[in-house]
Amino acid sequence: MNNLQRLNPLKRLKNLIAASASALMLSLSQPVLAQLDIQTWQTQEGAKVLFVATPELPMMDIELLFDAGSARDGAQPGLANFTGNMIGLATSQRNEQAIADGFNDLGAVFNSNVNRDMTRFSLRSLTREPLLTAALDLFTEVIADAEFPADIMQRDRVRLLQAMQQADEVAGQYARKVFWQRLYQDHPYGQDVAGDSEVIEQLTPMDLDAFYRQYYVAQNAQISIVGDLSQSQAKAIAQAISERLASGVKATAIPTPEPVTPGLEVVEFTANQTQYFAGQLGVERGHPDYYALFLGNHLLGGSGFASLLVEEVREKRGLVYSVFSFFAPMREAGPWMIGLSTANNQAQEADQVVKETLLGFLEDFDDAKFADIKQNLLGGWPMRFDTNDKILGYLTMIGFYDLPLDYLEAFPAAIEALEKADVLAAWRQHIHPDNLFTLMVGQPVLDATP
């Protein structure tokens, strides 16, 4: 054989992985059309598991989440985020480079994310052996055997503090952070996920390890699996992960937030544009009125150019490039908010038009527009879970928030059944213009008595 054609076994394996992964990544954008059959069970250690078989592609996506979001920070804002971001950088057996090389050599992708409610770790791998088992072993090791070396922590502390400072210099990001703080006041949701710079300066490896040992436990965990696997394979995978975790105890409930005092606050920020947010507390995930609130918001400000806010604020008056509204339901009541950016000398007019549009919407809205927006939402519904990673996201939501397993079928049915009167009744019950908190960050030009 020609020496140029001779490859060592490891290089042949790496080339095979690369070729297979490239082809599969191109296929991941193709719809997953099989009917979803969500299976659920608990591991022996108490972790909740949700599984959907998708045999169309020889690929597996798995997510391990913990009820360990920034709402668990307590008196140390930033603790959950710092802990979550350190996972995957060191174990008792491997350093950061060895972990990164391990995933790369297997053609696997590891990611992490921290939000207010949860911390999530995901893995994407081919289902071909021995790649799958090796990838799962490494995934489990980096989470179940995490360490927090002081030198790496200090390096990441510097990076995090720099990123936080840079974010505060971007008007839109700073305004959003301030809005959450004002809306939730002393509630855990009011703390920025990234945390407080003074606290982050003082965090130690012992702080991170204590948080990790309290919350990264089986009783506080959920495992979601989507891919070309049988249920018996999924059960074996979930059990292998769960038994590597300490059993621990489930996190306690977080408090119910209190409504904010309504009114307008202006925060000075040197910029040509004013960042504007107005809103109030909405509803928690799973609230029975969410269907009607979601559909109504789709018409008001959640559907881009088809929304009433875009029509009134942008199309008719040219005050903004973009305006939006949304609900963000969480474990406890999430926010409902309207957002836009406008020239400083147009901020007051934009605020007036937003409030008038909301009042008009609550009074009544056009039947034809309502029918169109409903069909727009229903027509695009299947695209919300047409790939493995989208399905994984819904499994996370369904499991963590204790939604019914038929949620993806029940949601469009509930939307279809809604009448205009149902939407108006829900909005009038939950959204009260007199109770809105409004924030302007910039140098808005306002009348002396706005």
What is d(CA 344, CA 324) in angstroms, rounded to the nearest whole number?
19
Q: In this predicted structure, what is the pLDDT of residue 385?
A: 87
DSSP 112-138: EEE-SS-EEEEEEEE-STTHHHHHHHH
- How far separated are the first and last CA of the chain, in Å rounded? 85
- Strands 273-281 and 437-442 come out as antiparallel
Task: Give the single-character DSSP code of 30.
Answer: S
* SS3 of residue 140 by DSSP: helix
- Measured between alpha carbons, how far is residue 96 from residues 142, 147, 153, 211 in Å? 10, 11, 12, 21
Cis, peptide link before residue 130, omega less than 30° from 0? yes
What is d(CA 312, CA 366) in angstroms, rounded to the nearest whole number?
14
Contacts of residue 337, Cβ cutoff 8 Å, sequence gap at least 6: 179, 183, 277, 278, 279, 325, 326, 328
Tokens representing 220 are 């506080």
According to CATH, where is 3.30.830.10 located in the chain?
Answer: 18-242, 263-442
What is d(CA 28, CA 6) in angstroms, rounded to the nearest whole number?
32
- Among residues 143, 154, 82, 133, the alpha carbon closest in space to that of 111 is found at 143
Q: How many CB atoms lie within 10 A of CB 447?
A: 6
Q: In this predicted structure, what is the pLDDT of residue 55?
A: 93
Task: Give the single-character DSSP code of 306.
Answer: G
Q: Which residue has the tokens 């959003």?
A: 176
Q: Residue 325: beta bridge partners?
A: 338
**Burial of 19: CB neighbours in 10 Å, binned 0-12, 13-18, 19+:** exposed
Quick one: angle between helices 205-215 and 79-86, nearest 10?
90
Q: In this predicted structure, what is the pLDDT of residue 35?
A: 61
For 324, phi and psi rounded to 5 degrees? -150, 165
How many CA within 13 A on the CB side of residue 138? 29
Q: In this predicted structure, what is the pLDDT of residue 383?
A: 86
Q: Residue 369: beta bridge partners?
A: none
Tens-digit pLDDT profile for residues 34-45: 468 999 999 999
Tens-digit pLDDT profile for residues 358-369: 999 999 999 999
This prediction's pTM: 0.90
Q: Residue 223: beta bridge partners?
A: 49, 64
Q: Which residue has the tokens 């490494």?
A: 138
Tokens representing 164 are 């936080």
Q: How many CB atoms lie within 10 A of CB 165?
A: 10
Tokens representing 32 are 């997953």
Mean pLDDT by 10 residues, the chain (450 residues): 39 47 44 70 98 95 99 98 98 98 98 99 98 99 98 98 98 98 98 98 99 99 98 98 98 97 97 98 98 98 95 97 98 98 98 98 97 93 90 97 96 96 99 98 83
Tell me which CATH code domain 263-442 carries: 3.30.830.10
Alpha helices by DSSP H, 243-381: 290-300, 308-309, 347-363, 367-380
For 48, phi and psi rounded to 5 degrees? -80, 140
* SS3 of residue 290 by DSSP: helix
Contact 168, 106 (CB under 8 A): no
Q: In this predicted structure, what is the pLDDT of residue 36?
A: 86
Q: In this predicted structure, what is the pLDDT of residue 448?
A: 63
What is d(CA 239, CA 265) in angstroms, rounded to the nearest whole number?
51
18-242 CATH, one of 3.50.50.60, 3.30.420.310, 3.30.830.10, 3.40.50.300: 3.30.830.10
What is d(CA 2, CA 18) in angstroms, rounded to the nearest whole number?
23
